[in-house]
Amino acid sequence: MRYAILLLGAPYSSQAAHSALRFAQAVIARGHRLEAVFFYADGVHNAASLATPPQDEPQIVDGWIDLQRDHDVRLEVCIAAALRRGIIDAAEAARHGKNGHSLAPPFTLTGLGQLIDLGVDCDRLITFGA
């Protein structure tokens, strides 16, 4: 079965991000394919390269990066929601005249059309809210 996740919650404001990451790991462990995680609304904060939680807290951003590296899961971030919240990649920083960028690789900025495609192409689109 092919899954996708829509994540609406920031990593340390609610349980949503932690639950979504654990669900993603469980889906893969059961032999299913996780195509992508789409980060929308406050969920875009999961892609922040500058987040530095205390060492005794879960490193959720690193967990998403590990998931992508180990299982080739696309990490897609809504560009409109990200720009509103200061999450920006190098190309958008240059386009908007900003001095730096804060999108952690391998997260990528994309549009809502990608979310629609995930809903059409995957067997299940699971949402984790704030």
Pairing of strands 33-39, 2-7: parallel
Q: Tell me, yes or no, if 78 is annotated catalytic.
A: yes
Active-site residue identified among 27, 67, 78, 82: 78
Task: Cite the active site residues.
Answer: 78
